[in-house]
Structure 1
Amino acid sequence: MLQKKEKNFKHNTPFLSPLLDEDLSVFDEALINIFFGPSSYTGEDLAEISSHGNPIIIEKIISLSCLYGCRVAEPGEFTKRAYLNNKMDMSQAEAVSSLIASKSLAGTKLSYKNLGGELADQILSIKNNIISTIGEFEFNLDISEEDLQPNLIKNSIKKIHALEKRLGLSLEGFKKTNLLTVGASVVIAGPTNAGKSTLFNHLLDKERAITSSVPGTTRDVLQDTINLSGVPVVLKDTAGIRKTKNTVEKIGVDKAFKQISSADVVIFLGKKPKKSILDERFIYVLNKIDLKKKFSGDYDIKISALKGKNIKELTKMVLSLLSARGKDSNIILTSKRQVENIGGARDFLKKSVAGLERGKSLELVVEDLNSSLSFLDNITKKTTKDDILSSIFSSFCVGK
């Protein structure tokens, strides 16, 4: 496929080359870059071919490559090979996926931090603190549990509790990170003929939903994506909520309730219920104020979706509710798998603190701390016995 011979290739030195098909006729010209392992993304030999973007040309390059012994990569295979060849740890591999899928610029920046090792460094810091605590306990167990160092238990409780709080904050931080990487679900709901589809179209700034004065026009869930001040939002228009004998409309109402139950924010075009059943995710909206009718009831905001009145104020309220979700954390979690493992590690740290406070045997507390490490190992590199031993002996004098 290339005119240049293999012996002339140099590492990471791009060159321009004609691309030849089976009968040696040129079908395009491409920029070629060769990377020799281990100094490549995967740690193996790699070739990058940058051709013109015509799908026919790309398909031809792929078919010729397969003809000469290559095969089409499986999903995520390049990053998988990089992980298996120790070019990155699991947190960095997940950062690649998050970086590609992120729905906002702020989300890509967070994912890029983890690709650079931010999450791995933070988890390693916590693991080192746990390891040092285990080392102190192991050292004291080798002497006598009855002759513990002064304040060992008190200081250890304080130390482990601080680590548990850091992990807890990271779980809160995931709620905010998830909004920036995956996006928020904002549902427009309410009774029939309340102007939900008109509001949906206005927020999208296009005619996406059919609007009509006939109640029950919207039967299914319509959705589209918008960006509110850097926050990606999946906006959903739902069927009007009312009792109906119409089978199709009833399905639409059931779908509306399902969307409401899982939404991050619900823009409800209707008045507030009693305080005892208020939902903090809801913004209660009075629409159609352009009709200049008298409306009863309590609302968070009054708008006209048709005329665009107070829509900016409504979007600010949506953003305010979204920004209140979670807290800022320097431990950036971008996947549910990471959340599950952080949660598991945190639970065992809590258990170890409770055990120390009750006077539980240090051997059993060490087991809890090791279990916490096992969960953290699922995010970064494994903790070895040598890590524990190094912690035990690191405080010794030279030569001891």
Structure 2
Amino acid sequence: MNSLAPPRVAGSATRSLLRQVALPVGILVVVTVVDLATGTSTVYYPFLLLAPTLAAATAPPVAILVIGGVSLPLRYWLAANDGYLGPEYSDLFEVSTWMYAMATALAMYLSAARIRHERALVAVSEVAVAAQRAILLPPSDNLGGLRLAVRYFAVAEEAELGGDLYIALDTPFGVRLIIGDVLGKGLGAVRTAAITIGAFREAAYDEPELSTVARRIDVSVTRNAPADRFVTALLVEVRPDRVAFAHRGHEEPVTIRADGSVHVLEPPDPGLPLGLGDLEPEPPPVWVVPFHEGDLLLLMTDGFADARDATGGHYPLVARIRALFGEGRLEDADPVAAVERLGDDLMRHVGLLGLTDDALVLALARATDPPEPHHAP
């Protein structure tokens, strides 16, 4: 089996090189065929200069040198075929030869600069992706009597990764979790997300009040994150038959009851995002709603609200949740099935346009005790 690996690598490299030189080689072939087919009445060989010039966008420098070396004698041959290689054209051809040489050299320089930029971009992207993956760890399937599932859609353009974040912890005060979104993109957003999660880890185990946990995170983000960053967040604490929320400028959660009814949980007193606590002397209180066995809780970031279809229409989140899960379509409050179904529906909405912002959905439900094993008498 190992003996087959080198041919696969070589074949892949060959296909990659063919893709890189397809455009300039195509120009050489098309110009030559058209020039020969139209006879001596028209000339097309000057367009051969496009081959080494446009090759800078795709081909490596060595390939550009070869293309330039082929295009120049091909140009002389086509000129001779069209009757434009006499002594009266010698000065013109001397100038155009220098133009070919300079165009090829410039294309080689631009190609080398492009390759250096692409390699640097790949390195930065790998660092950013690794940092974000360290933040967005997959949750435990069963945490403190809860079933959790997450689906995340990343929009990474030139390492401009988003700052979506979440973490769930089983603390002495019950299961606590945070979902949030950092203003902006890039490594600064990933760093701010790491600061937020680190502060939540510290405070969630120590503070009995969820509002105090939010306050400690707010202080940490204000002190340690870049000045132009803040975090919209929703803190959640699951209690027996209830769930408590601390709202900090985030998207409203949605609950799907066991009877199929869908409820948007709007905070009675919305709070400011984390990092802006100095503007709010008295943070809003925690609010509590019922949460029973068979209920499903959905938490989203604003990537869902920002999603557009081909006509520019927003993703109708609540209407789609009712269509997907309402009226008995919940199927035993399975968080995994819920995030998969909602995520697939979101991607169908945006279609080929794709998402313009990172999107994250987290679902949780109370875990039911497994049935007692049946023993034959």
TM over 0.5: no
Using the size of structure 1 for normalisation, the TM-score is 0.25
Using the size of structure 2 for normalisation, the TM-score is 0.26
